[in-house]
Amino acid sequence: MKAISEPRRVKPERITGIAHVFAAAGYSIGGLRRLWQETAFRHIVFALAASIVLLGIAGATFGDYCIQFVLFFGLVAVEALNTAIECLVDHLTADWEEFARDAKDLGSLATMCLLIANAMFLISVVVRYFILS
């Protein structure tokens, strides 16, 4: 009896030039769609909206808003990498493994560090405008 073979996977052709820019944008949009499935990411987006309102109430400067957005996009990047790590780890093992726990914990730590940085910045703006003024 002949075994059923899997179809041979062919490596896609390399995309160059301006087409590469559009392809990369498409990959990023796909990543954003995937990240939106994560509750933590949706909380991060909600927190950004709340922080913008708080900055507005505090009379923040343009520079304050710029710093907040840089911190926010840094947090999004780390959350995306954390989610990618979790996807890979879940693919590699279905059972509990120490390496899986460590990888997920380290990704979580990276996200927490940027969450704290965002919170510290917002606290500094609130202190500067409501307490020190």
Residue 78 maps to which CATH number?
1.10.287.3610
Q: Which residue has the tokens 């493994």?
A: 97
24 in a structural domain: no
Q: Specify the pLDDT at position 5.
A: 67
79 in a structural domain: yes
Q: Is 108 annotated as a binding residue?
A: yes
Q: Is 105 annotated as a binding residue?
A: yes
d(CA 28, CA 86): 18
72 in a structural domain: yes
Q: Is 86 annotated as a binding residue?
A: yes
d(CA 81, CA 35): 10
Number of CB atoms found within 10 A of residue 54's CB: 16
Mean pLDDT of 39-68: 96
Mean pLDDT of 88-107: 92
d(CA 94, CA 40): 22
Mean pLDDT of 60-88: 96
- Asked if residue 56 has pLDDT above 90, the reply is yes
Q: Specify the pLDDT at position 116.
A: 97
84 in a structural domain: yes
Helix axes 98-126, 39-57, angle to 10 degrees: 10
Q: Specify the pLDDT at position 68.
A: 97
Q: Is 6 annotated as a binding residue?
A: no
pLDDT band at 44 (very low <50, low <70, confident <90, very high): very high
d(CA 66, CA 112): 21
21 in a structural domain: no
Quick check: 71 and 117 in contact, CB under 8 A? yes
- Of 6, 13, 79, 98, the catalytic one is 79
Expressed as residue numbers, the domain containing 53 is: 39-131
77 in a structural domain: yes
Instruction: Pick 84 or 133 by higher pLDDT.
Output: 84
Annotation marks residue 97 as catalytic: no
19 in a structural domain: no
Mean pLDDT of 17-34: 92
3-state secondary structure at position 10: coil
20 in a structural domain: no
Q: Is 27 annotated as a binding residue?
A: yes
Number of domains in the chain: 1
Joined tokens for residue 23: 């392809």
Pick the closest to residue 121 from 60, 61, 73, 67 (CA basis).
Answer: 67
Write the DSSP assignment of 97-127 as a string of letters. Answer: -HHHHHHHHHHHHHHHHHHHHHHHHHHHHHI
- Asked if residue 2 has pLDDT above 80, the reply is no
Instruction: Pick 96 or 116 by higher pLDDT.
Output: 116
Q: What is the mean pLDDT of the chain?
A: 92
Helix axes 98-126, 62-92, angle to 10 degrees: 170
